[in-house]
A = this chain, B = another copy of it.
């Protein structure tokens, strides 16, 4: 998210000019020449000029763009009834029960929202209410949402300024930050931040993290490193909120939720993005007593959330994940993809580390030229009709995150294009050009 400045080039596209006129400073676009897309199917996107792009980036259409079962579920329910949840509807309860079955049994309540920003915002309020404390610990380039409160805990969105007193940033669980002892170093950093919050009279309400640390660079290893961190958080009186917006719904190939790779049990889980494969739906799984405490103070209601169309979309996504064995596919093809990338970069001095779990891979570049090289790779892949993104605090890593239906053929196409794009950047005498590159 650090790497999404607004486009200032290519004012020659009429559609781009319209966007800039319509959305102004909130125009956030990918690429030097933003893509105009018109159709999606599986892992493929079609541009207005007829070009097909292989999508190895977008994580919302996680079971594949325009999956026919999800499309049909949305169309059918939209034609029958779309209404808020102050009346009862069977499909909503069926969906909540399917979701609940995927969580540890003590997370027995689900609150549906429309966006993960809302889910994380609600989790913050619940954590402060339940603990009577105010402080939050997050990672240095965390991204948890775009509401007033969640922007406070999303340094990836900050262009300037410092964290507010109630928010403490810790370096993310990376080799760069902690060397070989990621678990020990990260746990100690969280303990220190908790102590600082306590000393300042704020106390620790919650530690919240994306279970795969997507915006921090995709930080996956060693699995289990969150175990001692969560113990430390609980010892300090805080709650642990697992943000599964990026890592949930089978993305890591190791179960439905990213926290499962770490063998930990959250107090709350927030989810979104892949949840409706494009239909806006998000949610919070929570221990009932925490929710009850909040609801002593306020009525929580969300007009669009929990409508039967959202539930129909969400149920179809869960069905497709099961029926098409997409978690297995993410594990198996993700491993092939990761191994292929590792083969290609082996011995390349530009690259410092390749990390991944399932279909979520980060490729970190070394040195001060890293962000420019990363951008050049992204543009180079786009020229080869493959879409990926960037991540990390300085945009120093590639973010590779195809839909869970990515096939062996698509893995092969990706690897061929990646090898070419990397070779081109590696061969450039002084790295890529210094012109503005946006993604």
Contact = CB atoms under 8 A, between A and B. Distances in A.
B89 A38 contact: yes
B151 A125 contact: yes
A85 interface: yes
Contact of A157 (B115, B161, B299): B299
A100 interface: yes
A409 interface: no
A273 B303 contact: yes
Count of this chain's copies in the oligomeric assembly:
2
A402 interface: no
Interface string A186-203: 000000000000000000
A22 interface: yes
Given A71-B79, A300-B26, A147 B118 contact: yes
A15 B96 CA distance: 12
Nearest to A307: B278
B36 A111 contact: no
Nearest to A287: B24
Interface residues of A, number: 102
A108 B125 CA distance: 34
A363 interface: no
A295 B297 CA distance: 34
A28 B148 contact: no
A93 B18 contact: yes
A336 interface: no
Given A24-B291, A82-B277, A280-B305, 11 more contacts: A18-B93, A24-B108, A26-B291, A60-B84, A66-B78, A71-B78, A78-B278, A83-B278, A116-B303, A147-B148, A157-B300
4 closest residue pairs by CB, A with B: A82-B278, A25-B295, A24-B109, A75-B75
Interface of A: 1, 4-6, 13, 15-16, 18-19, 21-26, 28-30, 34-40, 45, 48, 58, 60-61, 65-66, 71, 74-75, 78-90, 92-93, 96-97, 100, 108-111, 114-118, 121-122, 124-125, 146-149, 151, 156-161, 272-273, 277-280, 288, 291-292, 294-307, 309-310
